Amino acid sequence: MTNILLIVFTISLLYFAIANRLMTYVKILTLQGVILFGVAFIELRELNLLNLIFILLETIIVKALAIPMFMRYVIKKNNITREAEPFVPNFVSLILVTIIIIVTFIISNVINDPHLHKIYFVTALSALFSGLYFISSRKKIITHVICYVVIENGVFILSLAVGNEMPLLINLGVLLDVFVSVFLLGIFINKVGDVTSDGDVAELSKLKD
Amino acid sequence: MIIPYLTGSILIAGALFFNQKKLVSKLLVVTFLIMQWGFTVFEIMHKGATTYDYFSTDALAVLLLVTLSIISIPALTHSYEYIYKEKDNPRARGIYYGAMVLLIMSLTAAYLSSHIAVTWIFVEITTLSASALIFHRRNAGSIEATWKYVFVSSISLVFVFIGILFLSIALGKGHEEGMFYEELMVLSPGLNTFWLKMAFIFIFSGYTAKLGLVPMYTAGIDAKDKAPTPAAALFSSVLMNVGFVGFFRFYKVVANTSIHPWTNHVVMIAAFLSIFVATVYMLKVKNIKRMLAYSSIEHMGLIMLGLVAGGIGYYAALLHLILHSFAKSALFLQIGHLYKTFKTKNIYSIGNYFKFNVPGAVFLLLAFIVVTAMPPSGLFISEFYIFKAMFEGGYLFLLIPVLILLTMIIWSLGKNILKMVFIPPVGFDESKVEPVNSLETFSQYLLLGLVIYLGINPPQVFVDLLHEAVQNLTF
């Protein structure tokens, strides 16, 4: 069951590569949040109530509901155009993300560590690297934030792969990170929208030497 | 004691945030300073103690905490002059002071933390409060700088987090207590080297955003350029130290293991590239604040080379770190006065500073001597030790290019600072210059004097603390 969920998560990265609209990105985030809940729930079923509530909060409430709603709000409020406007054609993105997945697959097979859940590792690293690739290949600031959340999701899977016990402190760290980044970035997008016309990264390039 | 300190700071920050009255905010800031110093003295008296498992006061923490408390006095008190003359908006003032207090608090906690994840959390909070400070002016430039700073810092902190996760793979199951630095030092020789290497790469490249080294240094430059000068003084000194703490505590762990030579190679490449990049930009930039920010990058590169070289280099690296904090924060505070006089940061439009502000101009000349590590500067001593360590460690192939690059940096800084002090600017309207209160320069002279004093005649306590902080490192 976990394997299926993680494979769906990886496929969602491929879908991310070819999606055209911002709202599709936001929907992919919701989907990923739900998948993360499923994975975490299956992994941690036998643990105590507190941890369960915490994971529920982290995945369903924050990742699947709050962040996508917030993104929707920002997109509507700033009248950001629906198109994602990538720098490279979608087909190239698709190829590159596929290559990323294959390479991480090979890497995890080379490592061959008994402590490591291979499929978690592959999914997490592909999410991380494709997130970084999406950031560098998309034009709008809001897509950067969305891709940052994709990276965060990858890190969440990695933390599931690593600690079956999920120390509460690290959990707290993930949550703090998500809160800090997304809400702060959201506020700035609002402000950036006041200064620039279309929340475009190209307009944020005056500071240089 | 740490819990009352943290709650007290958060309460003061909250009160500053909501308060609208000038007098009350002044009182609150003074209260915070007293509390900060009270806490510092308490920690010095209880050196070696561990509180609530997660915080412990070792030699490194004491050194950096005292540095922070010293620098926070001029930074906070000069904020008055800075903020009230520029624009006195109660809302902006509240955010500024609140963020300043939170920044100092989180830096303190990060220095003291003895758990790798706790350090990470407090470094994250420094990002949050620093971004509020960079955003102070609310114009297009500061929005851009804030955006870049938040984004790059968040990504690099995710890197650190991934590094911590890899570290826990290396530790394996049932070793939660291994996340404490002390425990990790004991366990590290037996760990899987592959995962330890992965952890090191991610943690190091993540902390370079704060530390100001090659992969992630860019955000820090914009931040120091656009933040108000008292905040920039903190960014270029104590905020870089927090990156150093995060990195150094983990470096001490890997120095125990067989991968130590490999980590040294990684750090060496990053350090050399940092010095190279700093040189290239310093020859080119025309903005004095950015030039000083690049100079910080260069100094951080030198510190890392000291660590790589080993031997006396460890001692010299820490000494250099602390002296650089004092020198650079003093210089940034002076840039505030320079900006007040000329209303620009462009070197072309600044000049003849002697005519408008004599103490400031003399300071600038002295600071040039100190920051480029010429005698009698304390940085000369530490830099000399670093070069000595490199020579003895067989890094001559690196030392020669580094020295050539440093010569270029000294030439560039000297050319620009001498121009600002002596040569009249073109088309500058002298009638509108507002005089700077020379008393405000006093604290800068004190900081500079501290650099010279600690270098030439270091008190025995200081030397002992430095030796204690690097005692477990052997090469």
pLDDT at B308 over 80: yes
Chain B's closest residue to A169, CA to CA, is B117
Q: Does A182 touch chain B (CB under 8 A)?
A: no
Between helix B59-86 and helix B238-254 the angle, nearest 10°, is 160
- Tell whether B276 is covered by a domain: yes
Predicted pLDDT of residue B22: 82
pLDDT at A19 over 60: yes
Contact A152 B285 (CB under 8 A): no
- How much is the CA Rg of chain B, to the nearest whole Å? 21
**SS3 call for B287:** strand
Contact A188 B147 (CB under 8 A): yes
Which residues on B lie below 8 Å from A116 (Cβ)?
169
DSSP H/E element including B177: none
pLDDT at A198 over 60: no
Predicted pLDDT of residue B195: 86
pLDDT, average across residues B83-104: 81
CA distance B469 to B466: 5
Contact A172 B225 (CB under 8 A): no
Reply yes or no: is the peptide bond before residue B376 cis, omega within 30 of 0. Answer: yes
Q: Note the pLDDT tens digit of each residue in A53-93.
A: 777 777 888 888 888 888 888 888 777 777 777 888 889 99
Least CB–CB distance from A155: residue in B121, B147, B161: B161
pLDDT over 90 for what percent of chain B? 41
Chain B's closest residue to A173, CA to CA, is B121
Chain A's closest residue to B198, CA to CA, is A111
Identify the band that residue A12 occupies on the pLDDT scale cut at 50, 70 and 90.
Answer: very high
Q: Give the lowest-confidence range in B207-216, B296-305, B396-405.
A: B207-216
**SS3 call for A78:** coil
Contact A115 B141 (CB under 8 A): no
Question: Which CA distances in Å does B134 have to B146, B148, B272?
Answer: 6, 11, 29
Residue A138 forms beta bridges with which residues? Answer: A86
pLDDT at B303 over 90: yes
pLDDT, average across residues A34-43: 84
Q: Does A116 touch chain B (CB under 8 A)?
A: yes
Buried b (16+ CB within 10 A) or exposed e, A83-102: ebebeeeeeebeebbeebbe
Q: Does A207 touch chain B (CB under 8 A)?
A: yes
Relative to beta strand B50-51, strand B55-56 is antiparallel
CA distance B207 to B227: 21
Determine the distance in angstroms separating the CA of B331 from the nearest CA of chain A, rounded to an integer. 21
Percent helix, strand, coil in chain B (nearest 5)?
Answer: 80, 0, 15
CA distance B288 to B425: 15
- Tell whether B416 is covered by a domain: yes
Predicted pLDDT of residue B342: 84
pLDDT at A164 over 60: no
Amino acid at A80: I
Which residues on A lie below 8 Å from B161 (Cβ)?
155, 173-174, 177
Long-range CB pairs of A136-139 (<8 Å, 24+ gap) are A137/A86, A137/A87, A137/A88, A137/A93, A138/A84, A138/A85, A138/A86, A138/A87, A139/A85, A139/A86, A139/A87, A139/A200, A139/A201, A139/A202
What is the rounded (10 degree) CA torsion for B416, B417, B419, B420?
Answer: 120
Predicted pLDDT of residue A159: 80
Q: Does A148 touch chain B (CB under 8 A)?
A: yes
Closest CA to A58 of A188, A161, A189, A155: A155
Chain A's closest residue to B117, CA to CA, is A170
Per the document, the length of chain B is: 475
Identify the band that residue A161 occupies on the pLDDT scale cut at 50, 70 and 90.
Answer: confident
Least CB–CB distance from B225: residue in A173, A195, A207: A207
Determine the distance in angstroms separating the CA of B418 from the nearest CA of chain A, rounded to an integer. 21
Closest CA to B327 of B276, B302, B363, B291: B363
CA angle A22, B155, A180 (to 5 degrees): 75
Question: Which CA distances in Å does B16 have to B3, B4, B29, B86?
Answer: 20, 18, 8, 19
Q: Which residues contact B89 (CB under 8 A, 6 or more apart)?
A: none
Question: Which CA distances in Å does B35 have to A182, B14, B32, B96?
Answer: 33, 16, 5, 19
Least CB–CB distance from B284: residue in A165, A191, A209: A209
Least CB–CB distance from B144: residue in A181, A206, A209: A206
Query: Is residue B281 within 8 Å of A209, Cβ to Cβ?
Result: yes
Q: Give the lowest-confidence range in A151-155, B167-171, B293-297.
A: B167-171
pLDDT at B475 over 60: no
Predicted pLDDT of residue A165: 52
Chain A's closest residue to B287, CA to CA, is A209
Which residues on B lie below 8 Å from A192 (Cβ)?
143, 147
Identify the band that residue A197 occupies on the pLDDT scale cut at 50, 70 and 90.
Answer: low
Which range of residues forms the domain containing residue B361? 259-475
Which residues on A lie below 8 Å from B162 (Cβ)?
128, 155, 158
Predicted pLDDT of residue B436: 77
Query: Is residue B335 within 8 Å of B229, Cβ to Cβ?
Result: yes
Predicted pLDDT of residue B296: 93
CA angle A111, A117, A120 (to 5 degrees): 100
Predicted pLDDT of residue B266: 93
Contact A167 B124 (CB under 8 A): no
Predicted pLDDT of residue B386: 94
Which residues on A lie below 8 Å from B169 (Cβ)?
113, 115-116, 162
Which residues on A lie below 8 Å from B146 (Cβ)?
188
| Greatest distance between any 2 Cα atoms in chain B | 72
Which residues on A lie below 8 Å from B285 (Cβ)?
209
CA distance A90 to A70: 26
Least CB–CB distance from A204: residue in B120, B144, B161: B144
Closest CA to B324 of B343, B310, B303, B339: B303
Least CB–CB distance from B124: residue in A158, A163, A180: A180
Least CB–CB distance from A195: residue in B121, B143, B154: B143
Contact B172 A209 (CB under 8 A): no
pLDDT, average across residues B213-237: 89
Chain A's closest residue to B291, CA to CA, is A209
Task: List helix spans (H) across B113-139.
Answer: 116-134
Contact B162 A195 (CB under 8 A): no
Listed by start position, the domains of chain A span 2-195
pLDDT, average across residues B192-200: 88
Question: Which CA distances in Å does B436 have to A8, B116, B342?
Answer: 65, 45, 11
Contact B143 A188 (CB under 8 A): yes
pLDDT at B290 over 60: yes
CA distance B163 to B370: 37
Least CB–CB distance from A176: residue in B121, B150, B285: B121
CA distance B117 to B163: 11
Task: List helix spans (H) across B172-287.
Answer: 181-187, 193-211, 218-226, 229-235, 238-254, 260-282
pTM of the complete model: 0.91
Predicted pLDDT of residue A63: 82
Predicted pLDDT of residue A168: 60
Q: Note the pLDDT tens digit of each residue in B339-392.
A: 888 888 888 888 888 888 888 899 999 999 999 988 888 899 999 999 999 999
Which residues on B lie below 8 Å from A167 (Cβ)?
117, 176, 179
pLDDT at A103 over 80: yes
Predicted pLDDT of residue B293: 92
CA angle B453, B457, B463 (to 5 degrees): 105
Predicted pLDDT of residue B235: 93
Q: Note the pLDDT tens digit of each residue in B17-61.
A: 888 888 888 899 999 999 999 999 998 888 877 777 788 888 899
pLDDT at B124 over 80: yes
Contact B144 A207 (CB under 8 A): yes
- Tell whether B380 is covered by a domain: yes
Per the document, the length of chain A is: 209
pLDDT, average across residues B400-419: 93
- Tell whether B366 is covered by a domain: yes
Identify the band that residue A47 occupies on the pLDDT scale cut at 50, 70 and 90.
Answer: low
- Tell whether B10 is covered by a domain: no
pLDDT at B429 over 80: no
Q: Note the pLDDT tens digit of each residue in A166-191.
A: 566 566 666 666 766 666 666 666 66
Mutation site for A-interface testing, chosen from B129, B147, B191, B193 by largest number of A Cβ within 10 Å: B147
Cβ pairs bridging A and B (under 8 Å): 102
Q: Which residues contact B14 (CB under 8 A, 6 or more apart)?
A: B98
Least CB–CB distance from A184: residue in B141, B150, B168: B150
Closest CA to B253 of B173, B190, B319: B190
Query: Is residue A52 within 8 Å of A171, Cβ to Cβ?
Result: no
ipTM (interface predicted TM): 0.88
Tokens standing for residue A155:
């890190």
pLDDT at A199 over 70: no
**SS3 call for A82:** coil
Contact B192 A172 (CB under 8 A): no
Q: How far is CA A2 from the centre of its chain?
A: 18
Mutation site for A-interface testing, chosen from B143, B216, B345 by largest number of A Cβ within 10 Å: B143
Predicted pLDDT of residue B369: 92
pLDDT at B472 over 90: no
- Tell whether B137 is covered by a domain: no
pLDDT over 70 for what percent of chain A? 75
Contact A173 B155 (CB under 8 A): no
